[in-house]
């Protein structure tokens, strides 16, 4: 393995895709029968039960904040406070992640505010083998 290949970050979750040539993106899996959206591969739709109707789709990098919480107490070693956010992406798919670029203050965050998905290193977290990871974050859309 070349050094360049070894240095390439891995995706923090399976539904974050890092193409060889191109920008990272989030991938959804959509049921062609009923239109429901999933994160991660599957064969059968949990909503309508259709089999073999699931297709991979590229999710939008734009969306709106559905709800959030400001987390002050977490597990040991997890830096707080941070904003845990649930975002409805334009065109379908709901994703949970950290909302960055805002003060962790409920008065500064509004339901429905437009956000964009950005891709950055996973807060310096590495696995046991020392591999780096790429994660996604939400930030207020300019």
Partner 1 sequence: MSEDVYVLGIDMIKFGRFPDKSLAELGAEAALLALDDAGLKIQDIEAMWCGNLMQANNMVGQQVLQQIGQTGIPVVNCANACATGATAFRDAWLAVKAGAYDVVLAVGVEQMGKGLLGGPGGSRGIPKEGLLGSMTMPAVFAEAGMEHSRKYGTTFEQFAKVSVKNHHHSTLNPKAMYQIETPLEQVMGAEMISYPNTKLMCSVNVDGSAAAVLVSERKAKELGMKRAVKIRASVLTSDPWQERDLVMPDVNTCTRLAAKKAYEMAGVGPDDIDLIELHDCFATAEILHYENLGLCKDGEAGALIDSGATTIGGRIPVNLSGGLLSKGHPLGATGIANIYEISTHLRGEAGKRQVPNAKLGLTHVIGLGSACAIHILEKAA
CA 26/CA 136 separation, integer angstroms: 8
Site for partner 1 in 106-125 (CB under 8 A): 106, 111-112, 122-123, 125
60 binds partner 1 (CB under 8 A): no
Q: Does 96 bind partner 1 (CB under 8 A)?
A: yes
Phi/psi zone of residue 78: left (φ > 0), alpha (ψ -120 to 50 degrees), beta? beta
Distances (CA, A) of 47 to 32, 58, 99: 12, 20, 29
Structure tokens at 130: 């020392």
| C-alpha torsion sign, points 104, 110, 111, 112 | negative
From candidates 33, 64, 100, 133, binder to partner 1 by CB under 8 A: 133
Exactly one of 7, 114, 127, 141 binds partner 1 (CB under 8 A); that residue is 127
> Which of 13, 33, 57, 118 is the binder for partner 1 (CB under 8 A)?
13
Residues that bind partner 1 (CB under 8 A): 10, 12-13, 36-39, 46-47, 66-75, 78-80, 82, 84-86, 88, 94-98, 106, 111-112, 122-123, 125-127, 133, 135-136
């Amino acid at each position: 393995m070349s050094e360049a290949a070894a240095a390439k970050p891995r995706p923090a979750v399976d539904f974050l895709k890092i193409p060889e040539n191109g920008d990272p993106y989030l991938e959804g899996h959509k049921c062609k029968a009923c239109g429901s959206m999933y994160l991660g591969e599957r064969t059968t739709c949990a909503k309508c039960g259709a089999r073999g109707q699931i297709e991979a789709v590229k999710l939008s990098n734009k969306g709106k904040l559905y709800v959030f919480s400001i987390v002050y107490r977490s597990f040991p070693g997890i830096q707080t406070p941070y904003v845990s956010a649930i975002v409805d992406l334009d065109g379908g798919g709901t994703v949970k992640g950290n909302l960055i670029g805002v003060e962790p203050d409920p008065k500064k965050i509004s339901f429905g505010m437009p956000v964009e998905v950005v891709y950055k290193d996973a807060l310096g977290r590495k696995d046991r083998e020392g591999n780096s990871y790429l994660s996604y974050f939400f930030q207020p859309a300019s």
